[in-house]
Amino acid sequence: ITLVSEDIPHSFTLPDYRIQKRVEPGREVVFEFRAEQAGRFEFYCSMTADRCREQGMTGTLIVGPRPPQ
């Protein structure tokens, strides 16, 4: 994942995977993780006292079952 902010500090928060990455304005943060659990997982920006969540900075990570080998 490449996380970029152009205005204020933001974060990528994915509680079910215990991930929280912060990015400063004008910067980018690159990170990887393995989504090993199937399901639907909410992610959001947790900065500025939840104002970002109120403005719709949320999403859903959808992880399908692992295909048979």
Going 28 to 33 to 63 to 19, the CA torsion angle's sign is negative
3-class DSSP state of 22: strand
Q: What amino acid occupies position 35? A: A
Say which residues have a Cβ less than 8 Å from residue 16's Cβ, sequence separation at least 6: 37, 39, 41, 42
Q: Residue 49: its pLDDT value, please?
A: 54
Could you state, in chain order, the average pLDDT of each consecutive group of 10 residues for the chain (69 residues)?
Answer: 90 94 94 94 81 78 89
Q: How far apart are CA 32 and CA 11, in angstroms?
A: 15
Alpha-helical runs (H) found in 1-69: 51-54
User: What single letter denotes the amino acid at residue 18?
Assistant: R
